[in-house]
Amino acid sequence: MSKPIALAADHGGYALKEEVKKHLDELGIAYKDFGTHSEASVDYPDMALPACDAVVSGECDKALLFCGTGVGISMSANKVKGIRACCCSDAFSAEYTRRHNDANALCMGGRVVGPGLACQLVDLFLNTEYEGGRHDGRIAKLMAIENR
Ligand code: RB5
């Protein structure tokens, strides 16, 4: 059985996370929801960390992360060693961050992206393979920054 997708949101992304969960349920895609579980105010770094840790440890496959803009939670995710997070609100970026960047976290803003577009971006992100080849060296350089 394939590994679950890690989900996390702050209060600004909570509603969109719930919409994406319905979509994943319809598709039969397993996920682990690291919260938040209500509209009560929480801090996006606290929400990003456990979900990103689960991706890096191998417990989960990729992460779908949400905050108001998608920006704060993507900044948080990219501080975690091993995470390559992309904040996206367009289909081209959601596809190419997989093809070229081998992104393992997709971040979206609940105050930016509607549920229909979010689900389309999720599908592109989860169904697009990394191309490898000329991108391998760039990703190696990117990841080496973590050890500077
Ligand atoms: C919370 O109000 C908001 O700042 C947060 O969800 C996010 O947009 C930060 O980047």
Query: Global pTM?
Result: 0.98
The residue whose two tokens read 């989960």 is 60
Which atom of ligand 1 is the closest one to the Cα of 71? 10
Tens digit of pLDDT for each residue in 76-133? 999 999 999 999 999 999 999 999 999 999 999 999 999 999 999 999 999 999 999 9
Q: Which residues pair with 105 in a beta bridge?
A: 63, 85
Q: Which of 14, 16, 44 to mutate to test the pocket of ligand 1 (most atoms within 8 A of CB)?
A: 44
* Cα-to-centroid distance, 106 and ligand 1 (Å): 16
HSE (side-chain half, CA atoms, 13 Å) at 8: 25
* Cα-to-centroid distance, 7 and ligand 1 (Å): 17
Question: Which one, of 49, 127, 60, lies nearest residue 91 by Cα?
Answer: 127
Q: How many Å separate Cα 138 from the centre of its chain?
A: 21
